[in-house]
């Protein structure tokens, strides 16, 4: 097919890459790399030099990337380690390669895994990567490490294992092909031979009377893509700086004039190698284009809606500015409300924000601040004692004063102001953050965003002051009236419940009564209706003591007695009260303790405490009556403060929501637009940012580039020509040392009459396998034909290549693919 497909493809690919470059992107065709593999002194660098056509590459790891540029442009080169410097003189490129190689590896045969990256920009190349890999060696010399063989092998495998890498297995003609390290490693990574091309060098240096015709005709150790012979410049030519064009002309003359190669001249030489690589590149591009086309079409569809708005865009149109302002403000209000109320759109899964964070402030942070207000128990009791004594004055109080309770409660309620105001501050901070987040969509118009944030934030600050005033008003309302009739307030009644009075049978026997314990007395009634009171016992000078359970009784008992040896009930010095369980006994004891009635065994402990208090100089006299009054007020304060906290926890979120959050939402929806109109000129308010204008231009440029790229891809698909991948080589006619089982031998063709094969020069006459006239790369792999593997793969003795012997008789037919 010649090079017609490539000739059509080069300008189209260049146009495609120009289209993508205009929008700062790459067409991402994933073009294949070409790795040149061979042993020491195999002529790898010269092969690559001839292919690039401009420079001499010193041995080492060198990666050459070629990039197409517009026609008539000056070609140049760049090194990755010399950023910003362009090399127009390719003699300087050669010198820089040598200098960088010496710097990385030294001048004594050292190696380095760090590649020298060279980029060549020329109108005569395609986007391609060529890799000159280090020569494979067995023995370390100079500064090379002892494991040089393994290091180089690992370096080679790093590149040639990639499916998009084409392998040029370079072997000199004056070396035994079966010992070729390049072919061996290529066979390991490419067993089907889809990516391997054999390159035979130094054909002009073979001994007189010998030639490589059998190798080039693909008879000896055949490859699926065959072999291509090349003649490179000699060391004398390199030292004399012989021109590449003259070298290629000498190569052409060599093949045309050599009697063993003249019939293969059209399939030999560097130009034919270039054509083969170009054809494989064409095939690869054609295989890549369908996926690229689908990707471009999806990008084009995603851009069409936005581009439609930009097609007739006029930046100075007043109607457009008014419409955009209305849309922006409306969207801002919608976004703010969604953030507060919650929405399934763009859910943040990493942090709390907006309404969720405010809810956390209401129901976690604020209650926590209230709980942190822990009372100093000792200080609180001291305050209660002072309050009681100051209210009684010179009189000895017989009852617990209400005024002491109110004074202590008000002092505790005032302490609620700080956590309430802090809650308002936390909500304001979150609202301001939320406003900035919602205004991010206004980035296209910087002045509009700035004014919107300023106006709404100012409004929030104003509502902050009013909300705090209302919160302080709630606290003042709580202070204005202490509601001791609240249903949750325990009042002076500490406990109610059924108890049994144990009395001897002679005095009436045991009976169950409904008991009511207050801070002043213990009363019991006939039933829980509390209409018929049986007795009321003052708590002064009363104590508790434990009573052992009776032998026949299942109830648990405790007793109340008077410390002054007075009768407690009728003629009884103590009354025994019984409960069904020990837990009930303990619960009643705790209730009596709250009323100031202590167990008998605590009397000594309390007296010691009083002595310590007096000895410390404290003027607080904790007599039993005062102690009971302090305990009573302490319990009442605790009960009432719990009621106030519950009320504040309920009212605070409601107050903040009404006065601040809901008010801000209404302000954005109804008044923000008017404030924006009064803030200044609409034209300056809706002036686009430079970034937005650039984004619009890039969007339009990308849209047109995508459309152009799709047209170019259509042209590539219809104008380029590709060839199918060659079939696997048929080497079953070669006589092996051990014949395979009969079942694995291919059937002998009998359709054609027996014809004697033509005479073949060389030591191994016989019918050759099919010639690989037009290799291609990138087509789907073809399953290997059953049969024994090539002779050099896995050979136990690579120094002894398998040489086919002359057949004993003329075969009945030629193998398929051989011209008659």
Measure CA 747 to chain center. 59
pLDDT band at 5 (very low <50, low <70, confident <90, very high): very low
List the Cα angle 456/458/461 in 5-degree steps: 110
Rounded-to-integer distance, Cα 524 and Cα 461, Å: 60
3-state secondary structure of 672: helix
Q: Which of 39-53, 451-465, 480-494, 717-731 is predicted most confidently?
A: 451-465
DSSP-assigned states of every residue in 294-354: HHHHHHHHHHHHHHHHHHT--TT-HHHHHHHHHHHHHHHHHHHHHHHH--STT--SSS--T
| pLDDT for 754 beyond 50 | no
Element (H, E) at 105: helix 90-105
177 in Cβ contact with 183 (< 8 Å): yes
| pLDDT for 649 beyond 90 | yes
| pLDDT for 760 beyond 70 | no
Q: Which of 3-7, 85-89, 109-113, 470-474 is predicted most confidently?
A: 470-474
Position 557 scores a pLDDT of 92
Position 721 scores a pLDDT of 59
Reading the block at residue 738, the tokens are 């051990």
Candidate from 173-177, 432-436, 488-492 with smallest mean pLDDT:
488-492
| pLDDT for 783 beyond 90 | no
Position 65 scores a pLDDT of 74
| pLDDT for 308 beyond 80 | no
- Are β-strands 574-579 and 493-502 bridged in parallel, bridged antiparallel, or unpaired? antiparallel
Regarding predicted confidence, which is higher, 359 or 372?
359
Regarding predicted confidence, which is higher, 47 or 17?
47
pLDDT band at 523 (very low <50, low <70, confident <90, very high): very high
Reading the block at residue 489, the tokens are 């307030």
| pLDDT for 781 beyond 60 | no
Q: Which residues pair with 196 in a beta bridge?
A: 167
CA distances in angstroms from 327 to 321, 332, 680, listed in the order given = 10, 8, 18
pLDDT band at 178 (very low <50, low <70, confident <90, very high): confident
DSSP-assigned states of every residue in 146-211: TTHHHHHHHHHHHHHTSTTEEEEEEEETTS-GGG-HHHHHHHHH-TT-SSEEEEEE-GGGSPTT--
Position 429 scores a pLDDT of 94
Position 425 scores a pLDDT of 95
CA distances in angstroms from 581 to 548, 553, 559, 588, listed in the order given = 13, 12, 15, 11
Candidate from 22-36, 156-170, 614-628 with smallest mean pLDDT:
614-628
110 in Cβ contact with 122 (< 8 Å): no
| pLDDT for 664 beyond 70 | yes
User: Tell me: the pLDDT tens digits for 532-548?
Assistant: 999 999 888 899 998 88
* Exposed e or buried b per residue across 489-504, where buried means at least 16 C-beta atoms within 10 angstroms of its C-beta: ebebebbeeebbbbbe
φ and ψ at residue 634, rounded to 5 degrees: -60, -45
DSSP-assigned states of every residue in 34-46: EEEEEBTTS-HHH
Helices (H) and strands (E) in the chain, counts: 23, 15
Element (H, E) at 542: strand 542-547
Position 514 scores a pLDDT of 94
Rounded-to-integer distance, Cα 150 and Cα 153, Å: 5
Q: How far apart are the first and last CA of the chain?
A: 22
Neighbours of 608 (CB within 10 A): 10
DSSP state of 578: E
Reading the block at residue 368, the tokens are 């926590």
Question: Which residue is it, tokens 């050459």?
Answer: 64
819 exposed, middle or buried (CB, 10 Å; 0-12, 13-18, 19+)?
exposed
User: Tell me: the pLDDT tens digits for 144-155?
Assistant: 777 778 888 888
φ and ψ at residue 200, rounded to 5 degrees: -105, 120
pLDDT band at 4 (very low <50, low <70, confident <90, very high): very low
Average pLDDT, the chain: 76
109 in Cβ contact with 141 (< 8 Å): yes
Q: Is 448 left (phi over 0), alpha (psi -120 to 50) or beta?
A: alpha
Position 355 scores a pLDDT of 87
Percent with pLDDT over 70 in the chain:
74
Rounded-to-integer distance, Cα 402 and Cα 387, Å: 10
Q: What's the mean pLDDT in 471-485? A: 92
Among the listed residues 634, 609, 636, the one whose alpha carbon sits nearest the alpha carbon of residue 623: 609
pLDDT band at 383 (very low <50, low <70, confident <90, very high): confident
Position 460 scores a pLDDT of 95
Rounded-to-integer distance, Cα 270 and Cα 50, Å: 7
Q: Which residues pair with 517 in a beta bridge?
A: 495, 522
Rounded-to-integer distance, Cα 269 and Cα 232, Å: 9
| pLDDT for 483 beyond 80 | yes
pLDDT band at 313 (very low <50, low <70, confident <90, very high): low
536 in Cβ contact with 522 (< 8 Å): yes
DSSP state of 511: E
Position 31 scores a pLDDT of 65
SS3 annotation, 634-648:
HHHHHHHHHHHHHHH
Measure CA 726 to chain center. 45
Rounded-to-integer distance, Cα 428 and Cα 713, Å: 57
| pLDDT for 17 beyond 50 | yes
User: Tell me: the pLDDT tens digits for 809-819?
Assistant: 444 444 444 44
Q: Which distant-in-sequence residues (6+ apart) come within 8 Å of 764 by Cβ?
A: 214, 219, 220, 803, 804, 805, 806
CA distances in angstroms from 291 to 10, 29, 370, listed in the order given = 20, 9, 64
DSSP state of 485: T
3-state secondary structure of 693: helix
Rounded-to-integer distance, Cα 482 and Cα 406, Å: 7
Q: Which of 90-99, 486-495, 511-520 is predicted most confidently?
A: 511-520
Neighbours of 662 (CB within 10 A): 12
pLDDT band at 271 (very low <50, low <70, confident <90, very high): confident
Rounded-to-integer distance, Cα 225 and Cα 402, Å: 109
Rounded-to-integer distance, Cα 121 and Cα 64, Å: 11
173 in Cβ contact with 229 (< 8 Å): yes
């Amino acid at each position: 097919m010649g090079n017609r497909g490539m000739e059509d493809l080069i300008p189209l690919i260049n146009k495609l890459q120009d289209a993508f470059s205009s929008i700062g992107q790459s067409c991402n065709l994933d073009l294949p790399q070409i790795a040149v593999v061979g042993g020491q002194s195999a002529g790898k660098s010269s092969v690559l030099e001839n292919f690039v056509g401009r420079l001499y590459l010193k041995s080492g790891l060198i990666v050459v990337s070629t990039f197409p540029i517009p026609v008539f442009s000056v070609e140049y080169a760049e090194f990755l380690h010399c950023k910003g410097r362009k090399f127009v003189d390719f003699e300087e490129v050669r010198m820089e390669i040598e200098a960088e190689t010496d710097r990385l590896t030294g001048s004594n045969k050292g190696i380095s895994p760090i590649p020298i990256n060279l980029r060549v920009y020329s109108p005569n190349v395609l986007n391609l990567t060529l890799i000159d890999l280090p020569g494979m060696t067995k023995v370390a010399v100079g500064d090379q490490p002892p494991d040089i063989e393994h290091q180089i092998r690992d370096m080679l495998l790093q590149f040639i294992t990639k499916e998009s890498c084409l392998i040029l297995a370079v072997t000199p003609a004056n070396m035994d092909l079966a010992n070729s390290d390049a072919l061996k490693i290529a066979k390991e990574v490419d067993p089907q031979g889809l990516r391997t091309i054999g390159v035979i060098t130094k054909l002009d240096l073979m001994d007189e009377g010998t030639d490589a015709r059998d190798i080039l005709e693909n008879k000896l150790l055949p490859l699926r893509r065959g072999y291509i012979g090349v003649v490179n410049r000699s060391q004398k030519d390199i030292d004399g700086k012989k021109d590449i064009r003259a070298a290629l002309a000498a190569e052409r003359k060599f093949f045309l004039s050599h009697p063993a190669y003249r019939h293969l001249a059209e399939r030999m030489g560097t130009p034919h190698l270039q054509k083969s690589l170009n054809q494989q590149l064409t095939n690869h591009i054609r295989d890549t284009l369908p996926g690229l086309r689908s990707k471009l079409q999806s990008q084009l569809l995603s851009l069409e809606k936005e581009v439609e708005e930009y097609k007739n865009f006029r930046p100075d149109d007043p109607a457009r500015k008014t419409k955009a302002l209305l849309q922006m403000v409306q969207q801002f209000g919608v976004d703010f409300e969604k953030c507060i109320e919650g929405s399934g759109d763009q859910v943040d899964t990493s942090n709390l924000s907006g309404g969720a964070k405010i809810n956390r402030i209401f129901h976690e942070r604020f209650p926590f601040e209230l709980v942190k207000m822990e009372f100093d128990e000792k200080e609180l009791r001291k305050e209660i004692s002072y309050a009681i004594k100051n209210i009684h004055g010179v009189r000895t109080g017989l009852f617990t004063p209400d005024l002491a309770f109110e004074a202590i409660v008000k002092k505790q309620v005032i302490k609620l102001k700080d956590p309430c105001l802090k809650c308002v501050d936390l909500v304001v901070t979150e609202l301001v953050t939320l406003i900035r987040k919602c205004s991010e969509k206004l980035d296209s118009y910087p002045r509009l965003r700035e004014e919107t944030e300023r106006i709404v934030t100012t409004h929030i600050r104003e509502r902050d002051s009013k909300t705090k005033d209302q919160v302080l008003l709630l606290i003042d309302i709580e202070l204005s009236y202490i509601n001791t009739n609240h249903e949750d307030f325990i009042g002076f009644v500490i406990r109610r419940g059924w108890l049994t009075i144990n009395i001897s049978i002679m005095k009436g026997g045991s009976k169950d009564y409904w008991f009511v314990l207050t801070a002043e007395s213990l009363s019991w009634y006939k039933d829980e209706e509390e209409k018929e009171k049986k007795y009321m016992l003052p708590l002064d000078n009363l104590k508790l003591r434990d009573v052992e359970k009776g032998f026949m009784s299942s109830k648990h008992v405790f007793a109340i007695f008077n410390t002054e040896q007075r009768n407690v009930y009728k003629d009884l010095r103590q009354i025994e009260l019984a409960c069904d369980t020990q837990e009930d006994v303990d619960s009643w004891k705790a209730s009596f303790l709250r009323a100031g009635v202590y167990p008998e065994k605590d009397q000594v402990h309390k007296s010691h405490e009083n002595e310590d208090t007096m000895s410390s100089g404290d003027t607080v006299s904790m007599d039993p009556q005062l102690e009971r009054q302090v305990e009573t007020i302490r319990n009442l304060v605790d009960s009432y403060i719990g009621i106030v906290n519950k009320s504040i926890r309920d009212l605070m979120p409601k107050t903040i929501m009404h006065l601040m959050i809901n008010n801000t939402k209404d302000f954005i929806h109804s008044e923000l637009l008017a404030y924006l109109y009064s803030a200044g000129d609409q034209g300056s308010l809706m002036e686009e940012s430079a970034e937005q204008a650039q984004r619009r231009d890039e969007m339009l440029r990308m849209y047109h580039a995508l459309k152009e790229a799709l047209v170019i891809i259509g042209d590539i698909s219809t104008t380029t020509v590709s060839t199918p991948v060659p079939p696997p080589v048929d080497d079953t006619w070669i006589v092996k040392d051990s014949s395979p089982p009969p079942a694995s031998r291919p059937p002998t063709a009998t359709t054609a009459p027996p014809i004697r094969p033509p005479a073949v020069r060389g030591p191994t006459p016989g019918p050759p396998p099919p010639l690989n006239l037009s290799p291609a790369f990138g087509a789907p792999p073809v399953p290997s034909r059953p049969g024994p593997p090539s002779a050099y793969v896995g050979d136990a003795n690579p120094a002894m290549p398998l040489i086919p012997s002359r057949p004993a008789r003329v075969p009945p037919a030629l193998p398929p693919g051989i011209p008659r």
